[in-house]
Structure 1
Amino acid sequence: MPFKAIDNRTEKIILSFEFESKFELKANHPLISCPVCKGKMFSRERNGFILHFVHNSKSENCPLSKGESWKHLEGKRIVYNILKNQISKLSEKLQILYSVDIEHRVKEVNRIIDVTLLCSNQPVEAHEIQISQISLSELESRTQDYSSQGIATYWYFEKNGSLTKEVQNWLLKNYGEVRYFEIETEINDI
């Protein structure tokens, strides 16, 4: 369930959470497609989820067609906004150099980063939101893939989530910290 799509008319990237509702989004961008597989998409807004995009038909080959929990979506949005806010506090000279991308594709290692800090349009930081349990081998593999491209990796785990002791120890040994987040939300029935 990605936040990013391409407007088929303008070929510009659009982010779903920059719109107040699916009605505003559809009025401004009626035809959208996936930035990875180019398949047709539509916007979805449902109770308990942030406005996001969905493929019109299931695409087994597209990494953006996998479902994500509302906590994962919200975590990505929060980290994206934090990085955007940090950039806005930089000097104008530095603001020109830095940008933030969500669901950034790194073709060389066939990975999609949840939230990416870019410098001169090149990824320099990968911010990965991890809600579900991840094996140490998968965490090391992703970290190594990003590192091979000169990208520093930051992992965020849900507080009281499914972080294993093995992964926690690896993070403490290699990063000196474990980054946690907690999302509280109130889901109202319509």
Structure 2
Amino acid sequence: MLQAIDRYGNKVTLFTKSFQEIVDIKKSEQDFLCPVCKGAVYIRAGKKVIPHFAHRSIKECRSFEGGEGVYHEQGKMLLFKWLREQNLAVQLEPYVKEIKQRPDLLLNIGKKRIAIEYQCATISPEVLKARTEGYRSIGITPLWVLGAKHLQRSSTNKLRVNTFIQFFIHQFSLDISPRIFFLCPSTKQIIIVQDLYMVTKQSALGILTAHTLPQVSFLELFQDTLFTREKLYTLWDKEKLVFRTKPRNRLSNQELRWHRWLYSKNLYLHTLPSIIYLPLRSQIIMQSPLWKWQSRWVIEQLVWCKIGGAINIESQAPIIHQNSRSNEDFPLISDTYNPLQEYMSILHQLCIFRQQSITTFVKQSAIYFPTTIDEAVAADKRLLRKLKKQNKGMFRR
């Protein structure tokens, strides 16, 4: 732990003191207590150790977090100093008695309280959910920052978003895009990944912005930087080409079942309409891959709808419920857009359907099925060029 209580009841934070001050404190042989369990603690400091306090005996203590490591301690100190330098009311490792939890940092901005957790080790979703619900139960907003060692980029705008990282996707409201926060103590950078579009179950497109801590304020972390249509659909053009043409020597059971379903409809990958496999922000909540649920929706519902006929997506709500993940998988997402409504809004922009009301869409034109791979690739490019030219964003508010 970074803080302890001295004999006078004062909190002592070692990393704010000079090396000589720490040496003098150790020589004085003062007694220090854990601020939570009141057990005896002692100073640990040296050239390779961040100055901190450790329990003299192993005992049950709610403040004890074994194995945090230097990386975690450095990150916690950086965040504390950064917030304090902005003249913000921040506490280091406070113990919140009402819920018996101790966040790394507790920040007060006006009437709002924010618990900041710097998470480096892998934890279970049950622990994350329990701690998040604990904070919310007393009106504290949780903010989880991942250690940058969890950030794996495959290109400038593409990264691996495995199941563990997906737990830490924040979406505070529909007015702010989904985002993940990372902190690297070595470079003193905070990295924000926002405007996420899931490509596969474990990869996503996003805008990655790195800030050196002294050059950014806390409130600036919540500003939206969104893909332009040109950028998003240029990136998706590459994903669509891979989707159409990549060799599929090995298929997962899910892919195999999907291909068999296509064959039962006398369809193949290269004959699918270009409106299948389009990017959606709200795909983050879906258990079913884009290609699977969009193809079933198009082929089983939209193709059979006559021109002039109406589709009411409210009556199709079970499609989303059956293909979406549990809310427990996303404890930091308070609200999200409806994937089916978002998808139909794109078809409205393409003039394939006309939006008559919030939930009703009227078919305006037939859905084109290519017959060869060359036709399919050309059709994909035409459709994405058309989307790039739209004046409005995906679902700007």
Q: Note the alpha carbon deviations across 1:100-158, whole angstroms, 9 max, x for none.
A: 111111112111111111368x9811110101112223222211110111111111111
Q: Note the alpha carbon deviations across 1:57-105, whole angstroms, 9 max, x for none.
A: 112x212333221111111101111110122xxxxxxxxxx52111111
| Native 8 Å contact 1:156 1:179 kept in 2 | yes
| Native 8 Å contact 1:118 1:125 kept in 2 | yes
- Percent of matched pairs sharing the same residue: 27
- Measure the CA separation in 2 of the matches of 1:173 and 1:32: 38
Within-5 A mapping of 1:102-113? 102-113=92-103
Give, in angstroms, the shift of residue 45 of structure 1: 0.8
- Measure the CA separation in 2 of the matches of 1:18 and 1:24: 14
- Name the structure, 1 or 2, with higher relative contact order (CA <8 Å, separation 6+): 1
Give, in angstroms, the shift of residue 26 of structure 1: 3.0
Tell me the equivalent position of 1:17.
15
Within-5 A mapping of 1:32-181? 32-59=32-59, 61-67=60-66, 68-87=68-87, 99-118=89-108, 124-161=113-150, 165-172=162-169, 174-175=171-172, 176-181=178-183
Amino acid at match of 1:112: R
Q: Note the alpha carbon deviations across 1:21-72, whole angstroms, 9 max, x for none.
A: 331333578221111111111110134321000111112x212333221111
Q: TM-score, normalising length from structure 1?
A: 0.79
Q: TM-score, normalising length from structure 2?
A: 0.40
Identify unmatched segments of 5+ residues in structure 2.
153-160, 173-177, 188-397
Query: Structure 1 residues 32, 119: closer, same or farther in 2, change over 3 A?
Result: farther
Give, in angstroms, the shift of residue 160 of structure 1: 3.0
Q: Give the structure with the higher percent strand.
A: 1
- Measure the CA separation in 2 of the matches of 1:29 and 1:151: 38
Instruction: Compute the RMSD of aligned alpha carbons.
Output: 2.5
* SS in structure 1 of the partner of residue 104 of structure 2: strand
- Measure the CA separation in 2 of the matches of 1:13 and 1:160: 32
Amino acid at match of 2:101: R
- Measure the CA separation in 1 of the matches of 2:75 and 2:115: 14
| Native 8 Å contact 2:2 2:14 kept in 1 | yes
| Native 8 Å contact 1:156 1:180 kept in 2 | yes
Query: Structure 1 residues 109, 99: closer, same or farther in 2, change over 3 A?
Result: same
Amino acid at match of 1:99: A
* SS in structure 2 of the partner of residue 106 of structure 1: coil
Of 166-175 and 75-84, the range deviating more from structure 2: 166-175
| Native 8 Å contact 2:42 2:55 kept in 1 | yes
Identify unmatched segments of 5+ residues in structure 1.
88-97, 186-190
- Measure the CA separation in 1 of the matches of 2:28 and 2:80: 22
- Measure the CA separation in 1 of the matches of 2:12 and 2:101: 20
Q: Which has the larger radius of gyration?
A: 2
